[in-house]
Amino acid sequence: MVEISWDERVAVLVMKGASPWNVIDRAMLEQLGAAFREVVAQDARAIVLTGAGRVFSAGGDVHLFHALAQQGEDVLSSTIGALMEELGNPITRFIAESPVPVISAVNGPCAGGALGYALAADIVLCARSAYFLVPQVTQLGVVPDFGINWVIARALGRPRALGMALLGDRISGEQAESWGLAWRCLDDTELMPQALAIAKKLAMLPTEAVIGCRRLVDGAGQVSMNQMLAAEREAQRDLVRSTFFRDACARFATK
């Protein structure tokens, strides 16, 4: 299940699975997608995603995969493909394109598809007890999914991205910060207070500027410098029309 709570206009989504590992099964996918849509519809200004207990999530439901395999490879293949296309991938897209900032608070082990959700957020925070693991290639003989390849290749570059995916080593919270996978690695007791503090800070920002900045950063690797300068110019032409910008200029002018 996914628990929703509120701290002012910050929505906190907690993945709480049937087991302590917060496995992403069909029910979790359905509820997580619905929870994101619900809190945005209720005018959340920022969202924090985390896991219950001491685990963010161990990723996909291998027990389900095993049960499907007993029904034949065609059933297994088609069902997993449908789960990804209809439920799993739309969540990654929602996080990456969310109309409000998303902060992932990785409170413990984060593995498999859950890594795609955590790293798609605008700000990634992790506890010192957390680790990041891509087990798909080494343990299951499949490829990383839910957007993992896109995110780690951009964040780490080809050598580290392939090393992480093909070797399946655990990446500690401290290493994740030093590599650029996470913004901050924090003491466990500080993770949620800091996540909420950052979420409230982002909630005060003009949404259009946050979305515009995200789009420019995400597209930076696909355009030339001249194209980026043009994109920045066009974004700026729209954003300077905002009341937020005019009020900010007025405050600076009076100092």
According to the 3-state scheme, what is the secondary structure of 41-86? HCCCCEEEEEECCCCCECCECHHHHHHHHCCCHHHHHHHHHHHHHH
- 57, 22 contact by CB (below 8 A): yes
- 108, 56 contact by CB (below 8 A): yes
Closest CA to 20 of 71, 57, 46: 57
- 6, 38 contact by CB (below 8 A): no
- 104, 124 contact by CB (below 8 A): yes
Is 90 exceeded by the pLDDT of residue 171? yes
pLDDT at residue number 121: 98
Instruction: Give the predicted TM-score (pTM) of the model.
Output: 0.94
Written as one string, the DSSP assignment of 178-202 is HHTS-SEEE-GGGHHHHHHHHHHHH
pLDDT in tens, 26-79: 999 999 999 999 999 999 999 999 999 999 999 999 999 999 999 999 999 999
pLDDT at residue number 143: 97
pLDDT at residue number 42: 97
* Helix, coil or strand: residue 133: strand
Is 90 exceeded by the pLDDT of residue 221? no
Give the mean pLDDT of 112-123: 97
In whole angstroms, give the CA distance from residue 117 to residue 172.
Answer: 17
- 202, 10 contact by CB (below 8 A): no
Is 90 exceeded by the pLDDT of residue 176? yes
pLDDT at residue number 19: 86
What's the chain's average pLDDT? 96
pLDDT at residue number 255: 81
Residue 43 Rama label (left phi>0; alpha psi -120 to 50; beta): left
pLDDT at residue number 198: 98
Residue 107: pLDDT band (50, 70, 90) is very high
Structure tokens of 204? 């005060």
Q: Which amino acid is at 191?
A: L
In Å, what is the CA distance from 188 to each residue of 155, 174, 227?
24, 12, 42
In whole angstroms, give the CA distance from residue 95 to residue 197.
Answer: 19
Tell me which DSSP letter residue 143 carries: -
In Å, what is the CA distance from 45 to each residue of 95, 176, 202, 222?
14, 27, 8, 29
pLDDT at residue number 86: 97
pLDDT at residue number 245: 93
Q: Provide, rounded to the nearest whole percent, the portion of the chain with pLDDT above 70.
A: 100
Domains in the chain, please, with CATH?
2-203 (3.90.226.10), 207-253 (no CATH)
Give the mean pLDDT of 95-118: 97
